[in-house]
Structure 1
Amino acid sequence: MEKIKMKLKSLVLEFHVNDNQTISLVNFSTNDKVNTIGSENPNIQNRKFNIQQPVEMKLSGINSPAETHGPKYSFSAPGYRLTYLGHKIIDNEMGQKLIITQMDSATGVYVTTVYQTYANLDIVRVWSTIENKGDSSVGLEYVSSFSYIGIDQGGLNTAEEKLRLHLPHNAWQKELDWQEYRLSQLGMSNSQASLRRSSNLIQINNTGNWSTKHFLPIGILENLELEHSYFWQIENNGSWTWEIGDQDGQLYLRTSGPSEQESSFWKEIQPGESFTTVKAAVGCTNGGADEAIQELVKYRRRIRRKNSDNQVLPVIFNDYMNSLFGDPTTEKEIPMIDKAAEAGCEYYCIDCGWYSDGYWWDTVGEWREAVGRFPNGLKELTDYVTSKGMVPGLWLEIEVIGINSPLFKKLPTSWFFQRHGKPVFDRSRVQLDFRNKEVRDYCTGVVERLINEYGIGYIKMDYNIDAGIGTDLNADSAGEGLLEHNRAYLRWLDDIFLKHPDLVIENCSSGGLRMDYAMLSRYSIQSTSDQEDFRNYATIACNAASGVNSEQAAMWSYPLTEAKPEEVIFNMNNALLSRIHQSGHLAKLSQKNFDLVKEGITVYRNIRPDIKQSLPFWPLGFASYEDEWLCYGEKIEGTQKIYLTVWRRYANAKVLNIPLDFLLGKEITVSQIYPVDADAYSSTAEWNKLNGLLMVELPERLCSRTFKIEY
Structure 2
Amino acid sequence: MAAVTAAATGTTWAWQIEHNGPWRWEIGDGLRDGYVALSGPTLADHGWSTVLRPGQSVESVPATVTVAGTLEDAVARLTGFRRAARVAHPDDRAPRLVYNDYMNTLDGDPTTERLLPLVDAAARVGAEVFCIDAGWYDDSGDWWDSVGAWTPSSTRFPGGLGEVIGAIRDRGMIAGLWIEPEVVGVHSPVADELPAEAFLQLHGQRVVEHGRFHLDLRHPAARAHVDGVLDRLVDELGAGYVKMDYNIDPGVGTDRDADSAGEGLLGHCRAVQDVLDGLRARHPAFILESCSSGAMRADVAITSRTQLQSTSDQQDPLAYPPIAASAPMSILPEQAANWAYPHPDMTLEQVAFTLTTGLAGRLYLSGFLPCLGPDQLALVLEAVALYRERREDLPRCVPFWPLGLPGWDDDTVALGLRGPGSSTLLVWDRRADGRPIEVPLPAGTAPRLDQVFPRALPAWDASVGEDGIARLRNPTGEPSARIFRLLPAR
Q: What TM bracket, shorter-length normalisation?
A: over 0.9
How far off its partner does 1:610 sit? 1.3
Structure 1: which 5+ residue stretches go unaligned?
A: 1-217
| Aligned residue in 2 for 1:676 | 455
- Which whole-Å CA distance do the structure 1 matches of 2:220 and 2:310 have between them? 28
Q: How many residues align?
A: 486
Q: Following superposition of structure 1 onto structure 2, how do residues 294-309 of structure 1 map, counting pairs within 5 Å?
A: 294-309=76-91
String of CA shifts for 1:451-509, please: whole Å, max 9, x gaps.
11221110000000011110001111000000001111101111110111111110111
Alpha-carbon contact 1:237-1:514 (below 8 Å) kept: yes
Q: Following superposition of structure 1 onto structure 2, how do residues 318-329 of structure 1 map, counting pairs within 5 Å?
A: 318-329=100-111
Q: Following superposition of structure 1 onto structure 2, how do residues 549-568 of structure 1 map, counting pairs within 5 Å?
A: 549-568=332-351
How far off its partner does 1:339 sit? 0.5
| Aligned residue in 2 for 1:705 | 482
Secondary structure of the 1:275 match is coil
| Aligned residue in 2 for 1:656 | 437
String of CA shifts for 1:532-577, please: whole Å, max 9, x gaps.
0011011111111012010010110011230000000000000113
- Which whole-Å CA distance do the structure 2 matches of 1:517 and 1:636 have between them? 23
- Which whole-Å CA distance do the structure 2 matches of 1:407 and 1:437 have between them? 15
Q: Following superposition of structure 1 onto structure 2, how do residues 284-683 of structure 1 map, counting pairs within 5 Å?
A: 284-287=67-70, 289-358=71-140, 359-637=142-420, 639=421, 641-664=422-445, 666=446, 668-677=447-456, 680-683=457-460
Could you tell me which amino acid in structure 1 is paired with residue 450 of structure 2?
S
- Which whole-Å CA distance do the structure 1 matches of 2:405 and 2:468 have between them? 20
Secondary structure of the 1:580 match is strand
- Which whole-Å CA distance do the structure 1 matches of 2:381 and 2:348 have between them? 13
| Aligned residue in 2 for 1:146 | none
Secondary structure of the 2:392 match is helix
Alpha-carbon contact 1:631-1:646 (below 8 Å) kept: yes
How far off its partner does 1:681 sit? 2.3
Alpha-carbon contact 1:614-1:636 (below 8 Å) kept: yes
- Which whole-Å CA distance do the structure 1 matches of 2:31 and 2:451 have between them? 55
How far off its partner does 1:305 sit? 1.1
Could you tell me which amino acid in structure 1 is paired with residue 438 of structure 2?
N
Alpha-carbon contact 1:661-1:693 (below 8 Å) kept: no
How far off its partner does 1:240 sit? 0.4
How far off its partner does 1:635 sit? 0.6
- Which whole-Å CA distance do the structure 2 matches of 1:566 and 1:404 have between them? 46
Alignment partner for residue 693 of structure 1, among 450, 465, 469?
469
- Which whole-Å CA distance do the structure 1 matches of 2:232 and 2:269 have between them? 24
Higher relative contact order, structure no. (Cα contacts within 8 Å, ≥ 6 residues apart): 2
- Which whole-Å CA distance do the structure 1 matches of 2:2 and 2:379 have between them? 38
Could you tell me which amino acid in structure 2 is paired with residue 692 of structure 1?
G
Secondary structure of the 1:495 match is helix
How far off its partner does 1:684 sit? 2.2
| Aligned residue in 2 for 1:254 | 37
Alpha-carbon contact 2:344-2:376 (below 8 Å) kept: no
Could you tell me which amino acid in structure 2 is paired with residue 325 of structure 1?
D
Secondary structure of the 1:627 match is coil
Secondary structure of the 1:510 match is helix
Q: Which has the higher helix share?
A: 2
Secondary structure of the 1:393 match is strand
Max Rg structure:
1
How far off its partner does 1:609 sit? 1.1
How far off its partner does 1:685 sit? 1.8
How far off its partner does 1:411 sit? 2.2
String of CA shifts for 1:297-332, please: whole Å, max 9, x gaps.
111111111111221111000000000000000000
- Which whole-Å CA distance do the structure 2 matches of 1:455 and 1:663 have between them? 52
Could you tell me which amino acid in structure 1 is paired with residue 34 of structure 2?
L
Could you tell me which amino acid in structure 2 is paired with residue 505 of structure 1?
L
How far off its partner does 1:611 sit? 1.2
Q: Following superposition of structure 1 onto structure 2, how do residues 164-313 of structure 1 map, counting pairs within 5 Å?
A: 218-287=1-70, 289-313=71-95
- Which whole-Å CA distance do the structure 1 matches of 2:10 and 2:367 have between them? 45
Alpha-carbon contact 2:338-2:360 (below 8 Å) kept: no
| Aligned residue in 2 for 1:158 | none
Secondary structure of the 1:662 match is coil
- Which whole-Å CA distance do the structure 1 matches of 2:311 and 2:460 have between them? 29
How far off its partner does 1:400 sit? 0.4
String of CA shifts for 1:128-164, please: whole Å, max 9, x gaps.
xxxxxxxxxxxxxxxxxxxxxxxxxxxxxxxxxxxxx
Secondary structure of the 1:544 match is helix
String of CA shifts for 1:571-613, please: whole Å, max 9, x gaps.
0000113111100111122222122112111111111111110
- Which whole-Å CA distance do the structure 1 matches of 2:340 and 2:201 have between them? 40
Alpha-carbon contact 2:434-2:474 (below 8 Å) kept: no
How far off its partner does 1:249 sit? 4.3
How far off its partner does 1:224 sit? 2.6
String of CA shifts for 1:85-142, please: whole Å, max 9, x gaps.
xxxxxxxxxxxxxxxxxxxxxxxxxxxxxxxxxxxxxxxxxxxxxxxxxxxxxxxxxx
Could you tell me which amino acid in structure 2 is paired with residue 693 of structure 1?
I
Alpha-carbon contact 2:111-2:156 (below 8 Å) kept: yes
Alpha-carbon contact 2:194-2:221 (below 8 Å) kept: no
Alpha-carbon contact 2:206-2:213 (below 8 Å) kept: yes
Alpha-carbon contact 2:448-2:463 (below 8 Å) kept: no
- TM-score, scaled relative to structure 1: 0.67
- Moved beyond 4 Å, runs of 4+: none
- Which whole-Å CA distance do the structure 2 matches of 1:311 and 1:574 have between them? 21
How far off its partner does 1:410 sit? 2.6
Secondary structure of the 2:302 match is coil
- Which whole-Å CA distance do the structure 2 matches of 1:558 and 1:539 have between them? 17
CA distance 1:436–1:616, shift in 2 (3 Å): same
Alpha-carbon contact 1:263-1:479 (below 8 Å) kept: yes
String of CA shifts for 1:180-227, please: whole Å, max 9, x gaps.
xxxxxxxxxxxxxxxxxxxxxxxxxxxxxxxxxxxxxx1111113223
- Which whole-Å CA distance do the structure 2 matches of 1:313 and 1:654 have between them? 37
- Which whole-Å CA distance do the structure 1 matches of 2:28 and 2:327 have between them? 29
Q: Which has the higher strand share?
A: 1
- Which whole-Å CA distance do the structure 2 matches of 1:625 and 1:245 have between them? 27
- Which whole-Å CA distance do the structure 2 matches of 1:377 and 1:653 have between them? 53
Alpha-carbon contact 1:629-1:651 (below 8 Å) kept: no
Could you tell me which amino acid in structure 1 is paired with residue 348 of structure 2?
P
- TM-score, scaled relative to structure 2: 0.97
RMSD: 1.2
Q: Following superposition of structure 1 onto structure 2, how do residues 83-122 of structure 1 map, counting pairs within 5 Å?
A: none
Alpha-carbon contact 1:458-1:504 (below 8 Å) kept: yes
- Which whole-Å CA distance do the structure 2 matches of 1:585 and 1:661 have between them? 39
Structure 2: which 5+ residue stretches go unaligned?
A: none
